[in-house]
Each structure stands twice: as structure tokens, then as C-alpha cells.
Structure 1
Amino acid sequence: MKLPGTSDAVQLFLLLTALSVLPALLFTVTSFTRILIVLGFVRVGLGMPNAPPNQVLVGIALFLTLFVMAPTFARVKEVAIDPLRAQQISQETAIRRGQVPVREFMFRQTRPETLGMFVQLARIRRPRTRADVPTWVLIPAFVVSELRTAFQIGFLVLLPFLVIDLVVSATLMSMGMIMLPPVFISLPFKVLLFVLVDGWDLITRSLVESFHV
């Protein structure tokens, strides 16, 4: 796809620039961070640091991110990419329009108190509307809010596994089996519990629904 009014050299430069910033955008303006952290908590709770492997977790997080962000990406395509390809708007207008759906998504997931903190840290005039909030202030507020939400969900994920560990440890202590590592006994019970309650479906449903609250 060649953008109107640009040479091949400029097109190549824009493409390389987009590829270089794509990983940063994936982590900072989408649901990827929350999903990956919660999946990491699941692995820690099960007590299996290498199962699933990192590549599998990143792949799951990536495709769940595409699923969650699909409406936002579709809106960006509708209001910015399609008109630009049809040469109806300029690149500057396309960038400005494309930011709107992404900013709306970030605003829905950003905590007001966190956003207020970054507005104070930025030392800018107190915004009256969302449009007055600069994107460079919104993005860190969104990331910090995502970290807080991810750790809250992760804490709830760890609780049932912690209960199993405590019960197994207390049982082994009462039986005088101090030398036997509790993890050898608790791991099968945790995996069994996770399978019986269909843990992956519960985690996936909870993660996706957390973006619509």
C-alpha cells in the first residue's frame, strides 16, 4: 500500500519506523500487559515455572490481545486507514483520527486517580475534558493502571493455590514428614483442581470480561 503524496524512500522509512515502535505500542496501548501478567501468575500459582513455556504464554497473550482489541482496531481502520487509502484525508488527519478509538479504549481502562497523578506529575493545566489530556500523559497512566489491575487479578488467582499449599504443608507437618518437600505433594492436587474447574476457560473468560467492566 502506497500512501498518497509520498515517495518510495519515505514509504520505506515510515515502514521501518512502524516496525521498530510496534513492540512498544503492543505493550503500552493494548491489553497485552494485563493478559501476560495474569497468565504468568497462573504459572506461578501452579508451581510450574516452565510450563507453559514463555513462548506459549506470549502467543496466548498476543492472540487474546487481538481478540480484545479487535473492535478498537476495526474502528481505527474505518475512520483512519480506509479514508487514507482512498486518498480522502491526509496522513496527519489519519493519525489524528486513528488515535481517537485507541484513546477511548485506554480511558476506559485507566483509573481516574492514576490519571490525575500523571497530570500532576506532568505539571500541565488541569484538563476539563478527555480531549484535553495529552496522549503522552494518558499512556503511562494506562500502563500503571493495567499493572495494578493485573496484580489484583493475579492475587485472586493465587489464593486457591495458596490454600492447597497450606493444607498440604500442615498435613505433612502433622504426620511428621518434615523432610518431604510439600511441593511434590501439592503440585498434583493443584493441577487436578485446575483441570477439574476448567481453569484455562475461567482465566480467559475473566480476562476478556475484565476489559468490558
Structure 2
Amino acid sequence: MNALRLPRRFLATRVFGVFTPLLLALFFFFAPAASAQAPAAPPPSTAPAAQQPFRLNIGLEGANKPGDVGVAIQIVIVMTLLTLAPSMVMLMTSFTRIVIVLGFVRTALGVPSAPSNQIIVGLSLFLTFFLMGPIFDRVNNEALQPYLAGQIASGEAFDKAAVPLKDFMLKQTRTRDIEFFLELGRFGPTPVADLPMRVIIPAFVISELQTAFQMGFLLFLPFLVIDFLVSSVLMALGMMMMPPTVVALPFKLLLFVLVDGWHLVVKNLVESFRL
């Protein structure tokens, strides 16, 4: 046993003794090269001595007058108004009545895709700007221009701009709708000049919907008569499989063109507003 163990120990000792100097030589040879290739540390950056952080003050510090607001608040208000502009156009102008009536005309004719939605909305917008032109001129002359000239503060400008819009909406609004929202909001007896916008706007929208649906009913009557006549003729001829709407559509279009329907619709729409 001792004769077998001694050669193994002797062999391991000889191998370790040979490889140890070789490993040490390789380490000391490659160590300087590795240290030479190591990237040097970047020099410390020289930061500016006095670097002011960016700050946005939202408050009344930028106001030059006690009744005015800061520039940042004005920017926020303008961005909010731009966001709410579509809703304001739909709810505070003549757009609601016009677009609903034009939609009823298309439905009564039986052509759901002609004219398209883009044409109806575009025509409604142009008619709205045409009708609201005098009101917008009053807002510009009484509120916007004095505010830009520095004659009035922003709060007073908003109050003056609301007066022409309130006058327009009150002329189109039914008294019962105003009384309903006054009762709903638990307001006491309120003069017309002191009515808040949160009462006038919903009352105005309901009145516009009522008026638009009344005009739509009147538009449907002549086309409904044509549908009845066409259906009766088809039944008398025994053509029950023929769709009455397909046969009645040319007669509806012919009647609408002969009476100059678009002119009559737009004329009555414009004259239905009390300006």
C-alpha cells in the first residue's frame, strides 16, 4: 500500500511544482498590459457655479393689476376654452337646431348617405357663423378689444362677453324651460339679467331640441304622403314584393327639387331664430 501511494504523491508534487511557476509568469506578464489598456477615469465635470432650476409660477404674481390674473393662468384658461370650444359651439349657438333639422331632411328623403355627415356638419357650421356674426361682433367690440387694450380686467371681460350670448339664448328659450331649471336648482325669483349660465344653457338646449323636432315633423309630412300613395298603388297593382321605399325615392327627390327644397329649408331655419 505504501509502495503504491508514494508514486502518486510524488507525481502530484512534481506537477504542481512545474505549473505553479508557469502560472505566476503568465500573471506577471499580462498584468501590466491589462492595466495599460484600462480606460482612464474621466475628469470631473465642471458644473456651472450657479445653475437656476426651471420654474413655472401659476398664480397672481404676474398680474399687473389687482383684478387681473397671471400670464400662466391666462394660458391655462385659453387652453381650456380651446378644448371646450366644440361643446360651446354646439350648446350655446344655433348649431344644434340647424344640424338636427338638416339631418331630418336627409332621413325624410330616404337617402341616409346623401348628403354625407361632413357636408351637413360643414353647412351647419357656416350657417351658425353667419347667424352668430352680430353676436360675435358684440363680444369682440365690448369684451375682447377693451381687454386687449388694457382697459378692463379679465374677469370683467368674461362678464361682458357673456352678455350677448345670454341675450341670444334667452330670445330662443321658452319660459317654462327656464322656470324648470330655476326650480331644479332651487333658485328664488331671479331677474332675467341675473340668470346664471348654468340655468340658461340647459334651458336653451332643451328649447332648441323641441323646436328642431317640431320642424322635423313638418318636414316629414309631405314625404310621408308620398310613401302612402306609392304603397297604395303597389298594393292595387298586386306588386307586393316591390319595396315601396325604392319606388317612392325618385318621387321624393323630384318633389324636393321642384319646390327648391334646400332653399326653403335654409330660409326657414334662418328666419326661425329671433335675433
Once residues 74 and 166 of structure 2 are traced to their aligned partners in structure 1, the CA distance between those partners, rounded to angstroms, is 26
Give the number of the structure whose residues are more often helix, by fraction: 1
Once residues 96 and 9 of structure 1 are traced to their aligned partners in structure 2, the CA distance between those partners, rounded to angstroms, is 21
Once residues 196 and 73 of structure 2 are traced to their aligned partners in structure 1, the CA distance between those partners, rounded to angstroms, is 27
1:116-127 map, 5 Å: 116-127=179-190
Which amino acid in 1 is paired with 2:121? V
Give the corresponding residue for 1:161: 223
Query: How much does 1:118 deviate?
Result: 1.0
Once residues 31 and 192 of structure 1 are traced to their aligned partners in structure 2, the CA distance between those partners, rounded to angstroms, is 30
Structure 1 regions of 5+ residues with no counterpart?
none
Give the corresponding residue for 2:49: none
TM-score, reference length from structure 2: 0.74
Give the corresponding residue for 1:62: 125
Which amino acid in 1 is paired with 2:156? T
Asked if 1:201 corresponds to 2:263, the answer is yes
Query: How much does 1:67 deviate?
Result: 0.7
Which amino acid in 1 is paired with 2:214? Q
The match for 2:205 among 143, 154, 158 is: 143
Which amino acid in 2 is paired with 1:51? A
The match for 1:36 among 85, 93, 99 is: 99
Give the corresponding residue for 1:25: 88
Once residues 184 and 74 of structure 2 are traced to their aligned partners in structure 1, the CA distance between those partners, rounded to angstroms, is 37
Give the corresponding residue for 1:99: 162
Once residues 186 and 216 of structure 2 are traced to their aligned partners in structure 1, the CA distance between those partners, rounded to angstroms, is 33
Highest RCO, 1 vs 2 (Cα 8 Å, sep ≥ 6): 1
Which amino acid in 2 is paired with 1:96? D
User: What percent of counterpart residues are identical?
Assistant: 51
Once residues 189 and 239 of structure 2 are traced to their aligned partners in structure 1, the CA distance between those partners, rounded to angstroms, is 62
- The DSSP-based 3-state class of the residue aligned with 1:79 is helix
- The DSSP-based 3-state class of the residue aligned with 2:129 is helix
Give the corresponding residue for 1:87: 150
1:157-196 map, 5 Å: 157-196=219-258
Query: How much does 1:9 deviate?
Result: 3.5
Which amino acid in 2 is paired with 1:210? S
CA-atom RMSD, angstroms? 1.5
Give the corresponding residue for 1:47: 110
Once residues 169 and 226 of structure 2 are traced to their aligned partners in structure 1, the CA distance between those partners, rounded to angstroms, is 37
Give the corresponding residue for 1:212: 274
The match for 1:130 among 192, 212, 216 is: 192
Question: What is the count of residue pairs matched by the alignment?
Answer: 210
Query: How much does 1:123 deviate?
Result: 0.8
Structure 2 regions of 5+ residues with no counterpart?
1-62
Query: How much does 1:6 deviate?
Result: 5.8
Query: How much does 1:11 deviate?
Result: 4.1
| Larger Rg computed on CA atoms | 2
TM-score, reference length from structure 1: 0.94
